[in-house]
Structure 1
Amino acid sequence: MKAKLAFVLASTTGILTAAALLVALVVDPPALGWVGFAITSAVVIGLAAAATLLLPRIRVSPAWPAVAADAARRLLAIVDAYCSEEELCDEIEARLDGDVTVHVVVPVRLSHLHFLANDDARERRFADESMRVMVGLLRRRGISATGRVGSDKPLESMVDALAAFPASQVLLATPAEEPYWLERDLLAKAQDLTKVPVTSVVVPTSRRAPSALPSVRPRQVG
């Protein structure tokens, strides 16, 4: 990503420099004209940088879903890291009817700034901790559960998980008090991306503060 950004900025700057030299040789504009050119150039460079960082990271395409080899029921839970783990487990348990395997995916929750800067170390650690707590609670209740940390986009996390986990239903869990900007209209968008039944639930927000421990590479809990 950094190499791509550097290439785009260098290319854009080179084009603008060439245009400035051409204008200087052919038109010889007044000082005010150069001020306008400088402002326009700054805007163009800013838009080029934002497009390079943002556009590739907001594209979500439906993945080819995994196909179950048996008739077992499987629940895929896409859970906001700020959801209360105990309340979330209560909601999952209430929805289970018989023997159901649960796979918990916790996307990394980023601020706008960290999303653009591709800086997610602290938030990824928090998502990993939340996922491990949820899986542990479910297992202590006798529920077969696995989990992993998703990407920084909830919809992408869902379609990636469906490509490996043959879910018979999907549950989207979001916190009541701390809405995440990438979760707007999440249910409708998720239903458009898969034929698997998708429902949603709002649970209380966890009071657990993001961890200040050093970052580690999250691992799947299976």
Structure 2
Amino acid sequence: MSEERTVVLVVANETLTGAELIEAVRRRNEESPIRAVVVAPVNEPRAGYVVYEDSRRAAAGRRLDSTVEALRAAGIPAHGGVFHAGPLDAVKDILAQEHIDEIIVSTHPAATSGWLRRNLVDEIRKVAGERPLEHVVADVAARTGAANVLVVANETVLGRPLLDRIRARAREGQASFLIVSPQSDAHTAEHPEAERRLRAALSELRAEGIEAHGQIAHPDPYTAAMQAIHDERIDEVIVSTFPGERSGWLRRDLVGRLRSDAKVPVEHVIVEAAQLQEVAA
């Protein structure tokens, strides 16, 4: 007769491969046998929409596969999936569909965790009801040295100085790039020119093996950047603008405001109009 196992829901995204999370699940299995259901939520931006959404899902899927394999290698039955939803909605969906006895949620440390800034662990604890919930902090960045770099650019996103700086940063150390292109017109639902530029930049970088994702975001660049910093783990920011008076972003002191408020290093890359690449129609 097979041994009955406690079903543990494991919720994480960037910290899925964290040694702290894997160890916590193994430790729980040593107390009594468990079966792990692993969920990797992929957040949507609060404004705008994701370009190359498949790359975000693929990155989450690779982390999930690695974690499931590690748990199975430790003798823990495990399966899981990538959810196109935030962590709270993902947990609600799983609880409605499957029998879950306990929950383990993994996040980055408080200083860099978008989930903690949004109080998502507490919100998940509420929907968990009487189910035990363990919160595991996994400092993946400190262990691997990998950085999440936010790039804020719109018309200059195909500028040679910006693309070269992204390439140089990728050579300096392991990094993933989230390129945010603020909408040019807040009153229209579609932004074909901005999307074509962003897709072209992402295609070029990804063809070179650079992990890059992108999204069309809130029309105000400061708001778009701060929303990304609030929602994601962001370690560095690169802002790209035209020079001097030509740049409305500089006239609004975007770089200075981000350096004051972002609490992470902010680099400014200037792109001249003559340094822009053409994008195919």
Task: Tell me whether the two structures share a fold, i.e. TM-score over 0.5.
Answer: yes
The 3-state SS of whatever aligns with 1:152 is coil
**Counterpart check, 1:99 vs 2:33:** yes
The 3-state SS of whatever aligns with 2:90 is helix
Give the counterpart of 1:156 among 78, 89, 95: 89
Residues 197, 183 of structure 1: alpha-carbon distance in 2 compared, 3 angstrom cutoff:
farther
Is the 8 Å Cα contact of residues 82 and 175 (structure 1) preserved in structure 2?
yes
The 3-state SS of whatever aligns with 1:170 is strand
Unaligned runs of at least 5 residues, structure 1: 1-69, 215-222
Give CA-to-partner distance per residue, 1:28-84, whole Å, 9 cap, x none.
xxxxxxxxxxxxxxxxxxxxxxxxxxxxxxxxxxxxxxxxxx964110010122444
> TM-score, with normalisation over the residues of structure 2?
0.45
- Give me the whole-angstrom Cα distance separating, in 2, the residues matched to 1:127 and 1:83: 9
- Give me the whole-angstrom Cα distance separating, in 1, the residues matched to 2:15 and 2:45: 13
Equivalent pairs counted in the alignment come to 144
- Give me the whole-angstrom Cα distance separating, in 1, the residues matched to 2:138 and 2:96: 26
> TM-score, with normalisation over the residues of structure 1?
0.56
How do 1:130-169 residues align onto structure 2 when only pairs under 5 Å count?
130-169=63-102
Is the 8 Å Cα contact of residues 84 and 204 (structure 1) preserved in structure 2?
no
- Counterpart residue identity of residue 197, structure 1: P
The 3-state SS of whatever aligns with 1:75 is strand
Percent sequence identity is: 22
Where is the strand percentage greater, Structure 1 or Structure 2?
A: 2
The 3-state SS of whatever aligns with 1:81 is coil
- Counterpart residue identity of residue 54, structure 2: A
- Counterpart residue identity of residue 179, structure 1: S
- Structure exhibiting the larger radius of gyration computed from Cα positions: 1
Is the 8 Å Cα contact of residues 28 and 34 (structure 2) preserved in structure 1?
no
The 3-state SS of whatever aligns with 1:143 is coil
Once the two structures are TM-superposed, the CA of residue 111 in structure 1 deviates from its matched residue by 5.4
Residues 159, 167 of structure 1: alpha-carbon distance in 2 compared, 3 angstrom cutoff:
same
- Give me the whole-angstrom Cα distance separating, in 2, the residues matched to 1:99 and 1:182: 29
Where is the helix percentage greater, Structure 1 or Structure 2?
A: 1
